[in-house]
Amino acid sequence: MNLLRPTLLTLACLLAQPISASDLPSLGDASSGIVSPEQEHQLGRAWLSLLRGQVRQLSDPLLKDYVESSVYRLTETSQLQDRRLEFVLLDSPQLNAFAAPGGIIGVNGGLFLHAQTEAEYASVMAHELAHLSQRHFARGLEAQQRMQLPMMAAMLAGVVAAAAGAGDAGIAAIMSTQAAAIQEQRRFSRQNEQEADRIGILNLEQAGYDPRAMPEMFGRLMRQYRYDQKPPEFLLTHPVTESRIADTRNRAEQYANGGRQDSLRYQLIRARTQLQFETTPGVSAKRFRAMLADNPKLDAARYGLALAQIKAGQLNEARQNLASLLKGAPDDLFYNLAQVELEMTANELEAAAARVQRLLAQYPDNYPLRQARVDVLMKLNRLAEAEKELDQLVAERDKDPDIWYQLAEVRGLTGNIVGLHRARAEYFALVGDYDQAIEQLDFAKRRADNFQLAARVDARQQQLAEEKRMVEEMLR
């Protein structure tokens, strides 16, 4: 499988086609000439669907909810105007995060392994939001367009020289031209990184975090990977140097001391993510026990240990650890959802259903809790109720392929075959497989038992066909 490299450079390459003078838009400000905000939005969604179709994602509702809510809180104090954001969480332990045109925010699970505090995590996300707010992609295309003609002329001269028998001299000319183009891209990228650092630090401080978290994380990453021949993707696309660390430290020191460094919620998310990437629950349990030996009051370690024990089938031990946590925080969602997982594993389904129902009375709109309700209902074989809950969830999260996938499964079990094909179509569209999506709607039309339903399916099929055409045109 060829994996897409989720960087702005990849996206620039997708649109770096020659543009004739008659096709050039009128240039206004630096961020609106080559590509408009709406074009960025469309391109970002097209690229996201391709990415989803090629790279494994994390589907943990608690992790998705944390990333979405934390980033939206940062947008409240950011310079980002268009807040139509989409998120993708990649199932990779490698350190990376990225921002793509049109409000696409990507996070590798590995970010939570490397960012040791919530402020460090927030510093990375504030930096990525700054790339979006400053429209670095559009400005990069404008810079590329300005240099395109001289670069093309030099490249053409190299090709002619090679064809005329100049041999190595012609090839050298081509290579030097490409090197010059790459150097110019890197120069512009360094400027973008500096600007994103500056604006990100400001956003961090205004959001209530300690801005010193950014240079602290950069410094630790540089020390950790100083002699690594293959540093993580994040350091390839966000090169860290001594001067950059010094610059961010100087900027951070301009703000008054204080600001939030960490939270229990973030450490609970870290524990969940660490468990995701460790080889066996036993390895995780050993590590969490060692942490508790050093500090018995470390709730995040006790929570991680309980999750590891549930995975390993050590339910009595997990029950004891969760009872200790719930005694101190009886309404905490993380602890209660872990208890629901334990009860489902132990086949205590009525107890799990009652717990979820009690919590929904307190947190009626909580996505991870509603997803847990679906899971419990399916275990109880109350499929009609599960389908109804999923219908409500996709109405609110219609760009989440995980929910469409599960809805298709439930509709198949309830005998809603037209609904099954329609849900599959939405899933396939979100992961970039438009041919499969359109075929699923063909199946749905054949099964439709009335004209109105068939007309709705046909209208959606035409919409997807148009989306497919636009995607193919943009990526041509």
Q: Which residues are catalytic?
A: 128, 197
What span, in angstroms and rounded, lies between the C-alpha atoms of 40 and 82?
A: 11
Q: Which residues contact 362 (CB under 8 A, 6 or more apart)?
A: 331
Helix ranges (H only) for 380-474 are 383-396, 401-414, 417-430, 434-447, 451-474
Joined together, the tokens standing for residue 261 give 């460094």
Q: How far is CA 385 from the centre of its chain?
A: 30
Indicate the SS3 state at residue 89: strand
One-letter amino acid at 462 equals Q
Question: What's 79's DSSP letter?
Answer: S
Own/partner contacts of 10-16, CB < 8 Å, gap of 24 or more, are: 11/43, 11/47, 11/100, 11/101, 11/137, 12/137, 12/140, 12/141, 12/144, 12/185, 14/43, 14/47, 14/474, 14/475, 15/43, 15/141, 15/474, 16/141, 16/144
Closest CA to 329 of 272, 270, 264: 264
- Tokens 């002329």 belong to 153
Judge whether 131 is annotated as a binding position. yes
Contact assessment for residue 64 and residue 89, using Cβ atoms and an 8 Å cutoff: yes
350 labelled binding-site residue: no
* Torsion angle of the four alpha carbons 119, 124, 129, 132, in this order, in degrees rounded to the nearest 10: 170
CA 251 to chain centre: 28
- Asked if residue 136 belongs to a known ligand binding site, the reply is no
CA 453-459-464 angle, 5° bins? 125
Strand 97-100: give its sheet, edge to edge.
Answer: 86-90, 104-108, 97-100
Instruction: Please name the residues in contact with 69: beta carbons below 8 A apart, sequence gap of 6 or more.
Output: none
Return d(Cα 376, Cα 13) in angstroms, integer. 46
DSSP string, 259-312: -B---HHHHHHHHHHHHHHSS-HHHHHHHHHHHHHH-TT-HHHHHHHHHHHHHT
Question: Annotated binding site: which residue ranges?
Answer: 127, 131, 193
Question: Annotated binding site for Zn(2+): which residue ranges?
Answer: 127, 131, 193
